[in-house]
Amino acid sequence: MSAIPIPSPTTILVASAASDLRTIQTATSAGFITPDALDRMELAAQRLSIQAREIRIHARAIRADAKREARGRAAA
């Protein structure tokens, strides 16, 4: 019996984003989403991008601290 491939979280997010983008494009073409609403969506996406970048920076710092602590314990 072969294993069932499970998509990575990144793959799922990318597929979801692509699907959402197609939905937004279709809704905009049909007139359901106004240019003002698109501007608000873009601002929200920019805020999320900034927050994601801040999370990555903090995660790197936390990992670096943990590595330093582990090295200090190993040296002691």
Residue 47 maps to a domain: yes
pLDDT for the residue 60: 93
Q: Mean of the per-residue pLDDT values for the chain?
A: 83
Mean pLDDT, residues 44-65 taken together: 90
pLDDT for the residue 34: 86
Q: By 3-state DSSP, what share of the chain in percent is helix, strand and coil, each rounded to 5?
A: 80, 0, 20
pLDDT for the residue 14: 67
pLDDT-derived band of residue 71, with 50, 70 and 90 as boundaries? very high
Tokens encoding 44: 């929200």
State which residues form the domain around 67: 34-76
Residue 5 maps to a domain: no
Which residue bears the tokens 């939905």? Answer: 23
pLDDT-derived band of residue 65, with 50, 70 and 90 as boundaries? very high
Number of folded domains in the chain?
Answer: 1
